[in-house]
Chains A and B, each alone.
Chain A
Amino acid sequence: MSAKAIAREKIPDAVLLLKTKYRVIAPVPKGKTFVFKKIDDPQEIVLDYNTTILPLKKFFLPPREVLVEYNLKKQEYREPEIKSEPTVFFGIHNYELQGILRLDYAFGTGVKDETYLKKRKNNIFIGVTYTPDDFHFAKSVGIPTDLKEGFDIFLTKYNSHYRVEALTDKGKSIVSQWSEFLEECSYDSDPVVHFKNKLKQSVAGIREVFHGAYNHPVWKETSKKCYSCGTCNLVCPTCYCFDVSDEVVLGTNRGSRSRRWDSCQILGFTEVAGGEAFREKRYDRVRHRMSRKFAYIMDDRDRPFCVGCGRCIRQCTANISITDVMNALL
């Protein structure tokens, strides 16, 4: 079969062209790891990366953002200006975009959260294939490496070049502007991606595993190792809980109410005004996180709120693994 392809060395030029119209966000190195960052120099982009420290959610649900502004004197509340500049997310892994789709579900169904949704306008996603490492388990949660849901363009890596597939009209229009960078190439089939299954059971029916698992010993065992530092929640693409607080700029009438990433692993998370916490025990909190991912919250297609990026395992200082915990239940 023949298809369009782009050589690796031409990618910076292709990005440069994108930059004339869009803000471009792509993975770049940070020390031993990677982060998503607004691109100034397309040469910094890496396409062979495992995972970034934080998921893409930081652009749509920033660690801290103002929900409401107000003036103490005028006694008015105002919605802050929410920018949604046209943005291309370049070099995105498919589980990453699945994380965004889960957030879309969380913020877009029921009561609609415009603070989030406004930032989801004018986004273009350009995906890229990846080589799973020891931490990835996306396939185990129903996200095979060739899933292209949500992407406008998808780049499949062959040795020194990438096959370019335009999947939407927006994608097609970009690819048409890239013509000078593209070449015809023929290929037999997609490269085989080795993916070790990390869960003993497929995600279908995994919710049922939690019936009767409430008092499973794994919760207490895991909680013995857990700091309750909240890292697993913060780095998770599908965790979106937040805390809300008000602040007044000292000596002024300017006040604002912000939301900040929160974590269900922290004791104070469920505390009510009287001081009672409803998940006081550390194991209650460990169980809540895992259950929320695989049983409590599912999207409209019954897919769990875990996309298998492996960040929570990779970044847990205490070496707690969500897959080990799940396997103990299965």
Chain B
Amino acid sequence: MEAKNIYVPEVADIIKIERMTELETFYDIKLPGGRDLGHEPGQFVEVSVFGIGEAPISVSSSHFKKGSFEMVVRNVGNVTQAMQKLKVGDKLGIRGPFGHGFKTKDFEGKDIVIIAGGIGLVPLRSLINTIIDPAERKKYGRVIILYGSKTKEEFLFRGELETWEKRDDIEYHVTVDRKTSGWNGNVGVITTLIPGLKLDLHNTIAAICGPPVMYKFVILSLRSKGLKDNQLYVSLERKMKCGVGKCGHCQINNIYVCQEGPVFNYTYIEDLKEAI
């Protein structure tokens, strides 16, 4: 039998597009025949736009979502810019899912703190919606969501944020770096939300994703709170060109982020220079 070529994308349909902010757009993608992507929360896909190129994009929908999967794309490069021009019914190339995400099995019975900075919410939303799925929620302890954004105008998934805030089984805290009109909540970087948390130090894990500068400070803060390194999970951003551990662009010391990550237990990468 002919071995499958790992570089050839599948052609998928865009079934829904929603502008979220000035820079970010939401896409709902249907694979051929409505096949499930079968991803873990935190995994990514390589998305191709015909004629333009390919870029790694985090999957944002729950592991349990049927028939299609979702992503949110920030307009920063050639591919993402070209995606802005696409319409419902247009085609995209999809490869993946790639790498390792959050192993929710390991989180069962535990309290989960989710710390999302800006667009870092995109992959973490996949985790959130997986663990708060009605059939799943009872498997986990407390679910605490910390979300930080530059301004309230840059909030993603606003409707969902409201539901999370309302739900009794989710502790939701949000902050903005800069107050704009109409904002009455917290102002300050995301680390300011951490000291006030009351955590069961022995039975909590934290999942972190955000801009590169955020990690160092969030980790310091969680450590000073008393969490151990093995309780921390981070999702790293790198230039993942091939997605399959060959091209070398995402390599941090001896690991390929696209293969072993992008989600790592912090103990695994804390000794890696260049990681954070």
Contact = CB atoms under 8 A, between A and B. Distances in A.
Within the complex, are A and B direct neighbours (CB within 8 Å)?
A: yes
Given A242-B247, A246-B53, A264-B248, A76 B11 contact: yes
A114 interface: yes
B3 A297 contact: no
Pairs A-B, 8 closest by C-beta atoms: A241-B248, A296-B254, A111-B244, A67-B7, A246-B53, A273-B76, A273-B77, A79-B5
A47 interface: no
A220 interface: no
Interface string A68-81: 10101001111100
Contact of B244 (A113, A255, A257, A269): A113
A146 interface: no
A79 B53 CA distance: 16
Interface string A209-243: 00000100000000000000000000000001111
B249 A241 contact: yes
B76 A257 contact: no
Interface in A245-299: 245-246, 248, 255, 257, 259, 262, 264, 269-274, 276, 278-279, 284, 288, 291-292, 295-297
Contacts of B245: 110-111
Given A240-B248, A243-B247, A273-B80, A68 B239 contact: no
A75 B11 CA distance: 8
A115 interface: yes
Interface stretch (B44-52, B63-71, B103-111, B126-134): B44-52
Nearest to B238: A272
Contact of B54 (A241, A244, A271, A274): A244
Interface in B1-29: 3-11
A76 B10 CA distance: 9
A21 interface: no
Interface in B108-161: none
B138 to A, nearest CB: 36
B248 A78 contact: no
Contacts of A110: 244-245, 259
Interface in B39-87: 48, 50-55, 74, 76-77, 80
Contacts of A214: 273
Given A77-B11, A271-B239, 14 more contacts: A77-B93, A79-B8, A107-B246, A214-B273, A246-B53, A255-B51, A257-B53, A269-B248, A272-B238, A273-B74, A273-B239, A274-B212, A278-B252, A284-B274
Contacts of B251: 264, 288, 292, 296
A8 interface: no
B54 A114 contact: no
A245 B238 contact: no
Interface in A8-50: none
A243 B54 CA distance: 11
B155 to A, nearest CB: 20
A72 B50 contact: yes
B59 to A, nearest CB: 17
Nearest to A284: B274
A278 B55 CA distance: 18
A240 B8 CA distance: 20
27 contacts: A67-B7, A68-B9, A75-B11, A77-B9, A77-B48, A77-B93, A79-B7, A110-B259, A111-B245, A112-B6, A113-B244, A114-B5, A240-B246, A242-B246, A248-B51, A255-B51, A257-B54, A269-B248, A270-B238, A270-B239, A271-B239, A272-B239, A276-B212, A278-B252, A279-B274, A288-B251, A296-B254
A106 interface: yes
B247 A262 contact: yes
Interface in A104-150: 106-107, 110-115, 117
B238 A255 contact: no
B253 interface: yes
A156 to B, nearest CB: 36
A75 B91 contact: yes
Given A272-B239, A274-B76, A72 B274 contact: no
User: Which of B242, B244, B249 is the most central at the interface, judged by chain A CB atoms within 10 Å of its CB?
Assistant: B249
A72 B11 CA distance: 12
A244 B247 contact: yes
Contact of A278 (B3, B11, B238): B238
